[in-house]
Amino acid sequence: MLQFNFSNLMQDGIGGNGLMKDDFKRIDGNALNTAIQSGKSPELEFLDLPGADTSAIKEMGRYAGKFDNFILLGIGGSALGPRSVLEALSPFHNIKSKPKVFIYDNVDPMTLHCIMDAVDLKKTVINVITKSGSTAETIASFMILWQKLKEQSLKPADHIIITTDPVKGNLRKIAVDYGVRALPIPPGVGGRYSVLSAVGLLLAEAVGIPSGDMLKGAVDIHNKCIGRDLWQSPAFLFASGVFLMQQMKKRDITVMIPYADRLKPFSEWFCQLWAESLGKDGKGLTPYPSTGTTDQHSQLQLWMQGPEDKVVVFLSVEDYGADVQIPAVFRDMEGLSYLSGHSLAELIKVEQEASEIALAKNGRPSITIRAPKIDAYHLGQLYHFFEIATAATGLLTGINPFNQPGVEEGKNLTYGMMGKKGYEAKKEEFVKYRQRKGKLEL
Amino acid sequence: MLQFNFSNLMQDGIGGNGLMKDDFKRIDGNALNTAIQSGKSPELEFLDLPGADTSAIKEMGRYAGKFDNFILLGIGGSALGPRSVLEALSPFHNIKSKPKVFIYDNVDPMTLHCIMDAVDLKKTVINVITKSGSTAETIASFMILWQKLKEQSLKPADHIIITTDPVKGNLRKIAVDYGVRALPIPPGVGGRYSVLSAVGLLLAEAVGIPSGDMLKGAVDIHNKCIGRDLWQSPAFLFASGVFLMQQMKKRDITVMIPYADRLKPFSEWFCQLWAESLGKDGKGLTPYPSTGTTDQHSQLQLWMQGPEDKVVVFLSVEDYGADVQIPAVFRDMEGLSYLSGHSLAELIKVEQEASEIALAKNGRPSITIRAPKIDAYHLGQLYHFFEIATAATGLLTGINPFNQPGVEEGKNLTYGMMGKKGYEAKKEEFVKYRQRKGKLEL
C-alpha cells in the first residue's frame, strides 16, 4: 500500500512557512466526502472504473497482443495514460518485448514517417482513441493509416481497434458501418480520468501487464481515501494541503518528482490531469514535471532558492526490482572510494531523502509518497489517488475539474483554416492576424 | 536563420496586458552589450565555444562511431545537451542508426540493468562526462562500468572516453594514470552552457551529425544578437521582454513549446538552463517544458484561463523534413472529410498559429521563434541564442546565472550517508531527521 507523509507541510516539519493543524479547520472533510460519494456529478464516473467488468478489454488485448507492432493514435489523456502504464511496467519495452509499441500523439509528419519506416503494417494493430470521435490530430492520423492499410490491400477491420464513446461520434459510426472492433469509454469519464478504462488497459493487456492488479490497487486506495475523516484520508489531506498552501502561502506550483526513470511519463500524466483540471477562471495550480535524481541537477536549485511558490511532491520507491553494487575500485582515490560498498538503490533513496531534508531545512514544503514497488497494483493506486485528489482540489478551489473550455478557441481557429463547415469567420480572423503580424520581427 | 517575433508581448498585439515601447527604456542595451562583450566574467567562456578548434573531438568521434553501442554517463547539462542534439537531429535513432545510444543520467538501478541487458560491452564505447570529476551519480555508474569491463577482461582504456576538466579532478587523474582517452571541457564553461563543447559534440560526431554546422549556426546567431542595439538584438529583446513581464506584470513562468516531437528534449535542456541559472536569491523564473501540438491537450487550458503568470515561447518549424497527405477517405462524413487534401505539416503549423492567436485574443503574451528547419545549423543557433538570452536575463534581474549554490546542502547530506570523509555531521543530521519524521504518515 502507498504511504503518505505530510509532515513537511506543517510548521513542525519546516518552521514558519508550514501550516498549523488549526488551518485545516477551513476544510470541511464531510462536505468533500459527500460531494464525491453522492455521485451527483456525472463526471465522477471515473470512480466506478476499478469495479467495472473488463472481460471485453482482456479479450481484445489477447487479439492485439498477437501482432508484432501496436500503434496507438491518441492525444492528451488518450496517450499520456497508456504511455505511462507501458513505461512504468515494461521498461525498455521495445528493446525487450512484443508487440513493439509506437504512440503517435502529435501531427508531426517526421514522427509518422519514422513509425511507418519501422513497422510492417501486415503485422500491426492500430488502436485509435478519441472519446468524442472528432479530435483533429487523432482523426488525421487515423485517416492516413486507414488509407495505408487499403493501399496494401489489408482489411482495416482486421488491424484497427477503436476506443471511443459507446454510442456517439464519428468513430463509433465507423465501427458500426465497417465492422471494426471497438471498446467503449464510459460517457462520464473524461480523457484525463480515463487511464483505468479501455484507454489505458487495452495496451496493458496487449503487452502482458495484469490490468486486474491495477484495478485492485485502485479499489484499495479508494477505500483508504473515501468515506474517512479528513485526517485519515490521504487524498483529502493532499488536496487540503496544496489548497491551503495556495490560499495562505501563495504557493501555486505543484512539482511532481518520482525517483525512477520509469515514472517520468507518469509525471507527465499527472501534469495534464492537474493543469487541465485546475487551471481556469483565472485561477489554478501549475504543475511541473520532474524526475529524480536527474532533475536535482536541473530544477533543485530553483526549488531551494527560487521564489517561494512551490510545493514539491516526492514519489519515492522502496524496491526497484533490480539493484547494482558499486564495486571497490579506485581505492586510493577518496573522491570515489566512499561510494564503494553501497548500491545504486541505496544511493537513489538517500538522494531523495536528502533533497527532502534540504528543502525542509530551508522552509520549503513537500509531501512524500512512498511506493513499496513499481508494479501494476501500486501504479493503479497512484492513478486513482491523484484522480481523487484532483477532483477534491477542484471542489476546494471552486473550480470545475472536469471541463476544459479554454481550448475551444484554438480548435475553432484550426477548424477555420482546415476548411471545416461553419468556421469560415475563424478563417478570416486567422488570415487577418497573419497580415497584422510581423511588426516586431527580427 | 531563426526569425523572432515579439509582437505578442506588446499592447499592439495583446492589448492592455502587453508592454509599451517606452517600458523598454528601463533596459540599458549598451550595458548588456558591454557586460557580455567585456568577457570579464570567466563563465562567459561559453561564448567562445563556436570558434574553438574541434579537431580532437572529431577524431574521437570517429573512434567512438566504430562501436555498436555508445553509453553516455552524465547528469544535468552533461546529459540534457547531448540527448537534445541526438533526438533533434537523428529521430528514432536507435531503430534506424548506429551506434545505438544509451544515456544513463540517473542512478536508477532498473535502468542500468536494462542497458546492460541490451548491450554487448565488447562492442560498446562509454563516454563519461563530469566537469568536476566528482558528481556522485556519474561517478557511481562509472565505477560500476569500469568493473564490468574488467570482469569481461576488456581494457577500460579501449572502451572509455572521459570528458572532464582539462587539468583538475578525479577523472582527469584517472585519464592520466590509466591512459584513458579524454576530452577537455573549458574551465569557464558550466554544465548547462556546455552543449557546444565536447559534451554535446562528441556524441554528435559519433553518430554522424555535422558538429561544424552547429558551430556555424552559433556564430551566425551570435552576430545577430551581440554588438547591436537592443531593438535589433533578438537575445537582448527576449531577455528584456521576459524581465519586464516579470517586473511589471508578475509573470514569472516561462513556457517553452517547440512544435516538433524531436525538440521535446530541447525543451528539457532549456528548462535546466533557465531554472538553474535564474532561480536563486528568493527570485527566479520557473520554466515549463512542453511539446506542440501534444500539450495543447494538456497545458493549453491552463495557459488560456489559468492565473496570469506565464509567458509562452512558441518554437515553430517551417520544413519538417517530411510530410504526409491526409487522404480523401470517409467523404460522406463531414466530421472527417474537412481534413482531406491538407497535410500533417500544414495542420501542425496551423495549430501552432491558432494557439498563438487564441492566447493573444485572451491577452496572454507569447514570443514566437521560427526555425526554417530542424538541422544542425539551426539547432546550433537555438542553443547559443538561449544561452546568451539566459545570461542577459541574469544580468537584468541581478541574479548570477552561472552558479548553483542551492544544491550543495542536498549533496552534503548524501555525502554524509554515503560515508564520505568530513561529512559525519551531515549523517547525524540525516539520521535524526528520520527519527523525527512520521508524525503525519498515513
DSSP string, B195-213: TTSHHHHHHHHHTT--HHH
**DSSP assigned state of A9:** G
Q: Kindly list the residues from chain A whose CB atom is less than 8 angstroms away from the CB atom of residue B252.
A: 307, 309
Q: Is A25 left (phi over 0), alpha (psi -120 to 50) or beta?
A: alpha
C-alpha cell at B64: 567512438
Is the domain of A225 the same as that of A365?
Answer: yes
Is the domain of B186 the same as that of B302?
Answer: no
CATH number for A123: 3.40.50.10490
Interface test with A, best of B344, B420, B441 (most A CBs within 10 A): B344
Tell me which residues of chain A, numbers 335 to 364, contact chain B at a CB-CB cutoff of 8 Å. Answer: 335-336, 338-340, 342-345, 347-348, 350-351, 353-355, 357-358, 360-362
Is the domain of B225 the same as that of B371?
Answer: yes
- Domain boundary (B154, B186, B207) is at B207
Average pLDDT, integer, range A68-75: 98
DSSP secondary structure, A205-265, as one string: HHTT--HHHHHHHHHHHHHHHTTS-GGG-HHHHHHHHHHHHHHHH---EEEEEESSGGGHH
List the single residue in A150, A279, A410 with the smallest CB-CB distance to B355: A410
The amino acid occupying position A249 is K
Angle between helices A376-397 and A234-249 (to 10 degrees): 40
Q: Is residue B32 part of a domain?
A: yes
Sheet holding B69-73, edge to edge: B100-104, B69-73, B124-129, B160-164, B181-184
pLDDT above 90: residue A202: yes
- Domain boundary (A207, A225, A257) is at A207
C-alpha cell at A2: 502507498
- Say if CB B266 and CB B88 are below 8 A apart: yes
List the single residue in B335, B350, B415 with the smallest CB-CB distance to A170: B335
Q: Which residues in B232-342 belong to E strands, given as ranges?
A: 253-258, 286-289, 310-319
pLDDT (0 to 100) of residue B438? 66
Is the domain of A350 the same as that of A423?
Answer: no
**Catalytic annotation, pick one of B137, B205, B276, B387:** B276
> For chain B, which ranges sit under pLDDT 70?
39, 438
Please tell me the distance in Å from B62's CA to the nearest CA on chain A: 26
Interface test with A, best of B5, B20, B90, B106 (most A CBs within 10 A): B106
Q: Which residue has the cell 520549503?
A: A364
pLDDT (0 to 100) of residue A440? 86
The b/e string for B87-99 (b: 16+ C-beta within 10 A; e otherwise) is bbbbbbbbeeebb
Tell me which residues of chain B, numbers 23 to 62, contact chain A at a CB-CB cutoff of 8 Å. Answer: none
CB-CB under 8 Å, B280 with A355: no
Q: Which residue of B has its CA nearest to A270?
A: B298
Is the domain of B280 the same as that of B138?
Answer: no
Q: Kindly list the residues from chain A whose CB atom is less than 8 angstroms away from the CB atom of residue B296.
A: 407, 410
Domain count, chain A: 3
Q: Looking at the complex, does the CB of residue A79 fall below 8 Å from at least one CB of chain B? A: yes
Q: How many CB pairs under 8 A join A and B?
A: 494
Q: Kindly list the residues from chain A whose CB atom is less than 8 angstroms away from the CB atom of residue B92.
A: 114-115, 117-118
Determine the Cα–Cα distance for residues B392 and B36; give it in Å rounded to an integer.
8
Q: Which residue of B has its CA nearest to A433?
A: B357
List the single residue in B289, B327, B347 with the smallest CB-CB distance to A147: B327
pLDDT above 90: residue A439: no
List the single residue in A112, A404, A442 with the smallest CB-CB distance to B232: A442
H or E element in which residue B101 lies: strand B100-104
Q: Kindly list the residues from chain A whose CB atom is less than 8 angstroms away from the CB atom of residue B289.
A: 289
Q: Are strands A366-373 and A3-5 parallel, antiparallel or unpaired?
A: antiparallel
Task: Look up the domain containing A425 and give its range.
Answer: 408-436
- Reported ipTM: the value is 0.97
List the single residue in A259, A304, A420 with the smallest CB-CB distance to B338: A420
Q: Looking at the complex, does the CB of residue B400 fall below 8 Å from at least one CB of chain A? A: no
pLDDT above 90: residue A308: yes
- Domain boundary (A207, A229, A261) is at A207
Determine the Cα–Cα distance for residues B382 and B384; give it in Å rounded to an integer.
6
Average pLDDT, integer, range A375-394: 98
Q: Is residue A403 part of a domain?
A: no
Q: Is B356 a catalytic residue?
A: no
Determine the Cα–Cα distance for residues A167 and A185; give it in Å rounded to an integer.
10
Summarised one tens digit per residue, pLDDT across range A132-141 is 999 999 999 9
Q: Is residue B429 part of a domain?
A: no
Higher pLDDT, residue A161 or B435? A161
User: pTM, whole model, 2 decimals?
Assistant: 0.98
C-alpha cell at A400: 470545475
Q: Which of A369, A290, A277 is nearest to A77 (CA)?
A: A277
Contacts of A201 (CB under 8 A, 6+ apart): A54, A57, A61, A211, A214
pLDDT above 80: residue A295: yes
Is the domain of A32 the same as that of A143?
Answer: no
Q: Kindly list the residues from chain A whose CB atom is less than 8 angstroms away from the CB atom of residue B13.
A: 437, 439
Q: Which of A177, A93, A185 is nearest to A138 (CA)?
A: A185
DSSP secondary structure, A355-407, as one string: HHHHHHHTT--EEEEEEEE-SHHHHHHHHHHHHHHHHHHHHHHT--TT--GGG
Please tell me the distance in Å from B380's CA to the nearest CA on chain A: 18
Q: Is residue B430 part of a domain?
A: no
**DSSP assigned state of A325:** B
The b/e string for B371-404 (b: 16+ C-beta within 10 A; e otherwise) is beebbbbbbbbbbbbbbbbbbbbbbbbebbbbeb
List the single residue in A76, A324, A339 with the smallest CB-CB distance to B297: A76
**DSSP assigned state of B90:** S
List the single residue in A278, A419, A439 with the smallest CB-CB distance to B7: A439
Q: Is residue A114 part of a domain?
A: yes
Determine the Cα–Cα distance for residues A296 and A261; give it in Å rounded to an integer.
13
Determine the Cα–Cα distance for residues B266 and B288; give it in Å rounded to an integer.
12
Q: Kindly list the residues from chain B whose CB atom is less than 8 angstroms away from the CB atom of residue A224.
A: 442
Is the domain of B192 the same as that of B226?
Answer: no
CB-CB under 8 Å, A284 with B305: yes
Q: Which of A314, A316, A337 is nearest to A327 (CA)?
A: A337
Adjacent-strand bridge partners of B366: B312
pLDDT (0 to 100) of residue A438? 65
Q: Are strands A160-164 and A181-184 parallel, antiparallel or unpaired?
A: parallel
Please tell me the distance in Å from A125's CA to the nearest CA on chain B: 19
Average pLDDT, integer, range A59-82: 98
The band of A37, judged by pLDDT with boundaries at 50, 70 and 90, is confident
Q: Is residue A61 part of a domain?
A: no
pLDDT (0 to 100) of residue B439? 75
Q: Looking at the complex, does the CB of residue B139 fall below 8 Å from at least one CB of chain A? A: yes
Q: Is residue A336 part of a domain?
A: yes
Q: Is residue A46 part of a domain?
A: no
Is the domain of A81 the same as that of A114?
Answer: yes
CB-CB under 8 Å, B329 with A117: no
Q: Which residue of A has its CA nearest to B429?
A: A357
| Catalytic center residues of A | 276, 297, 411
Interface test with B, best of A78, A256, A336, A352 (most B CBs within 10 A): A336
Summarised one tens digit per residue, pLDDT across range A397-434 is 999 999 999 999 999 999 999 999 999 999 999 999 98
Q: Looking at the complex, does the CB of residue B308 fall below 8 Å from at least one CB of chain A? A: yes
Q: Looking at the complex, does the CB of residue B390 fall below 8 Å from at least one CB of chain A? A: no
**Catalytic annotation, pick one of B411, B420, B427, B429:** B411
The amino acid occupying position B299 is Q
CB-CB under 8 Å, A139 with B335: yes
Average pLDDT, integer, range A376-392: 98
H or E element in which residue A60 lies: helix A55-64
CA A20 remoteness from chain centre? 31
- Say if CB A89 and CB A379 are below 8 A apart: yes
Indicate the average pLDDT of chain A.
Answer: 96
Is the domain of A355 the same as that of A426?
Answer: no
pLDDT above 70: residue A116: yes
The amino acid occupying position A31 is A
Q: Which residue has the cell 544578437?
A: B225
Sheet holding A160-164, edge to edge: A100-104, A69-73, A124-129, A160-164, A181-184
**DSSP assigned state of B374:** -
Q: Which of A358, A397, A378 is nearest to A8 (CA)?
A: A358
Is the domain of A235 the same as that of A166?
Answer: no
pLDDT (0 to 100) of residue A5? 96
Is the domain of A226 the same as that of A346?
Answer: yes
CB-CB under 8 Å, B275 with A298: yes
Is the domain of A359 the same as that of A423?
Answer: no
CB-CB under 8 Å, A326 with B109: no
Q: Kindly list the residues from chain A whose CB atom is less than 8 angstroms away from the CB atom of residue B278.
A: 302, 306
Q: Are strands A310-319 and A366-373 parallel, antiparallel or unpaired?
A: parallel
